Amino acid sequence: MATVKDLLKAKFTQVWYVTPTSTVADALKLLSEQQIGAVLVVEAGKIVGIFSERDFARKALSPEVNLGTPVGDLMVRGVYYVTPDQSVESCMAMMTAKRFRHLPVLEDGKLVGVISIGDVIRQIMYEKDSTIQSLEDYIWVHMI
């Protein structure tokens, strides 16, 4: 079964991040330029949060929030993460249970990539198709 490491190998991993003092405007501009839905918030080499389109849409209504607000005020803290050795299925379970679309990948406490629900689903579908294919091959060879 594939691991997170396999997913990272398959895609070009550029990790985009902002800092807690970056403004909401800066973070939104980055999301837009890179065509991504969420960005990590990093301070002194450590992940302190994640900021997504959803966080913005949900919190935009509170009167004290504007485009100059620091991302640190709107980000979601306590970011869940995965390690390179974890199975893709365990990532899927975490993403589904917590309703996350993105998970940072940490190795020895260091950020090495981000995987999205799209990456995870593609891999799992591929594995299921391979299983179906080999079962069908087995039936052709041995049973018909």
Chain residues that interact with another protein, rule: CB under 8 A: 25, 28-29, 31-32, 37, 53-54, 56-58, 60-61, 65-67, 121, 124-125, 128-129, 131-132, 135-136, 138-139, 142-143
Q: Which is nearer to another protein, 46 or 134 (CB)?
A: 134
Nearest to 56 by CA among 71, 43, 44: 71
132, 87, 110, 54: CA torsion to nearest 10: 70
Residue 121 CB, nearest approach to another protein (Å): 6
- The CA distance from 129 to 15, in Å, is 30
Q: Which is nearer to another protein, 83 or 87 (CB)?
A: 87
Please measure the distance between the N-terminal and C-terminal CA atoms of the chain and give it in whole angstroms.
Answer: 29
Q: Which is nearer to another protein, 63 or 109 (CB)?
A: 63
